[in-house]
A = this chain, B = another copy of it.
Amino acid sequence: MSILFSRQCEYAIQAVLFLALKPEGERVPTNALTRRLKIPYHFLGKILQSLTRKGLLRSEKGPKGGFSLALPPEDITLFHIVEAIDGDAFTRSCVLGFPECSGKNPCSVHETWGKQRDQIYQMLVSRNIGEMARDMKRPEYRSKAH
């Protein structure tokens, strides 16, 4: 079980962060991404495809083709990606699974969870993926050689 985000969404985030490290406009083919990030090729293809449909990425066909960000990295947050793939239901739903989440019929952790949900939301919107990618310490994102 993946926590918080679906597998698709995790892959999407990993891929977009990788794109954010490239000079603006540079196209990266799918297989350069899967080689680095160990994501199944065709699965990633479908994910990038839907991000393109949502307007987050741009795609070019043919040789020298590939995917690139449709916006400057400074204008994209993790929340944009999460929203595009998993939706924003988590901002509204009860963590214990009750039909609806509101102060009217609160569950036992409604107050506590409410605060934490806000913090998670802040984590997703307060930084742009440009700086996040540059801060990234993981080896997949560091060495320049491919």
Residues of A within 8 A of B (CB): 1-7, 10-11, 13-14, 17, 38, 78, 86-87, 89-90, 93, 95-99, 105-109, 112-113, 116, 119-120, 123, 127, 132-133, 135-140
Contact present for B10 and A97 (CB under 8 Å): yes
Contact present for A105 and B3 (CB under 8 Å): no
Contact present for B133 and A95 (CB under 8 Å): no
Main secondary structure of the interface of A (DSSP, over half): loop
Contact present for B95 and A107 (CB under 8 Å): no
Alpha-carbon separation in the docked complex, A4 to B101 (Å): 15
Q: A116-B119, A116-B120, A116-B123 are in contact. List 13 more A-B contacts (CB 8 A).
A: A1-B6, A1-B87, A2-B97, A3-B4, A3-B89, A4-B95, A10-B97, A11-B97, A17-B108, A78-B109, A98-B140, A106-B138, A108-B132
